Amino acid sequence: MKKTIPLKILEFIRPIADENLSIVRQIKDEKAMFHLVDNDVNSDFFFKVTNQETRSGHLHYLTEYKPMSKENVQPYGEWIQLDKVAIRIKDWLEIIDSYNKIKTVFDDPILKTYETNFLNEIDILDEDANVAPFDLKQQLYLDEYLSGVDEKLQKLKEDKTEEEVKQLSELQNEAKEIKKEVTKLTKRNLVGRLAKFWAKSQKVGIDVIKEVFVSVTAELAKRLLTGGN
pLDDT in tens, 156-198: 999 889 999 999 999 999 999 999 999 988 898 899 999 999 9
Q: Where are the domains of the chain?
A: 2-101, 109-226
Higher pLDDT, 228 or 79: 79
Q: Quick: pLDDT tens for 111-129.
A: 989 999 999 998 888 888 8
SS3 182: coil
pLDDT one-digit tens code per residue, 213-223: 999 999 999 99
- Position with higher pLDDT, 105 vs 134: 134
pLDDT at 220: 92
CB 97 within 8 A of CB 193: no
Does the structure show a pLDDT above 70 at 229? no
Mean pLDDT of the chain: 90
- Check residue 200 and give its pLDDT: 95
Find out whether 127 and 186 touch, Cβ atoms under 8 Å. Answer: no
Taking the C-alpha atoms of residue 10 and residue 29, their distance in angstroms, rounded to an integer, is 14
Per-residue model confidence (pLDDT) at position 1:
62
Question: Which of 154, 195, 199 minimizes the C-alpha distance to 173?
Answer: 154
pLDDT, tens digit, 9 for 90 and up, residues 7-54 = 888 888 778 887 888 889 888 888 899 899 998 878 999 999 999 999
Q: What is the pTM of this model?
A: 0.75
